[in-house]
Structure 1
């Protein structure tokens, strides 16, 4: 029994060491020095709701430098948010809230970790989500 406990402790310590090693700043996605190419092409909706229009302004101010204008991504920088991976059934709205407030470890894309985004309230992110979701719907992502 003691051997099993020791094994679990060692595995836990090894796991934490791996997590801290792989979570270093060297893996944080970098803001592009110059504009890069979009990862996806999208259709822009003809109209946006009031919330999405507010969200678009906030997105352009805080998110577009990495995720591209209209959330199309930036090659070698950050993924497109108008993508099937981010459909509501896979990444619910709270996933976006947590990404902004806590950051995200690299998992779907090879861009590195996303750091937390400062200067946005939950209300701001709710408006950004409205904008992204309307872009997604306009492109068949529901």
Structure 2
């Protein structure tokens, strides 16, 4: 029972409707050139569901969350989710469909953006 209680504390609060309460996201003071390109691709392809800074929305989970730290979700997990889609597994938002419009170069840049924002929020 204590293990379940601890697991519940590790996740953001969910309302009765299943909406996620996303914490504020601190943006880095500056982004690398690749992360800036990634931010543009992220804005076009990801922000509608994952939030403009990765903090999540009612349509998708936050990427700036310790569940997505590199030791739990390596970069390849992001690649596969974008290319193949992914089944719902951590959050109550449903399956993520593949995003075939996103090129491999854009995927790499999006991952760099997400990782730099994660680091700015203490997720390493």
The DSSP-based 3-state class of the residue aligned with 1:70 is coil
Normalised to the residue count of structure 2, the TM-score between the two structures is 0.82
Indicate which of 30, 33, 45 corresponds to 1:47. Answer: 30
Tell me how far apart the structure 1 counterparts of residues 39 and 21 of structure 2 sit (CA, whole Å).
17
Q: Which runs of 4+ in 1 moved over 4 A?
A: none
Unaligned runs of 5+ in 1: 1-35
Give the drift of 1:118: 2.3
Q: Which has more radius of gyration?
A: 1
Tell me how far apart the structure 2 counterparts of residues 55 and 127 of structure 1 sit (CA, whole Å).
4
Match of 1:65 in 2: 48
Give the drift of 1:39: 1.5
Match of 1:127 in 2: 109
Question: Aligned pair count?
Answer: 106
Tell me how far apart the structure 1 counterparts of residues 92 and 21 of structure 2 sit (CA, whole Å).
15
RMSD: 1.4
Greater share of helix residues, 1 or 2?
A: 1
Give the drift of 1:74: 0.2
The DSSP-based 3-state class of the residue aligned with 2:81 is helix
Normalised to the residue count of structure 1, the TM-score between the two structures is 0.72
The DSSP-based 3-state class of the residue aligned with 2:63 is coil
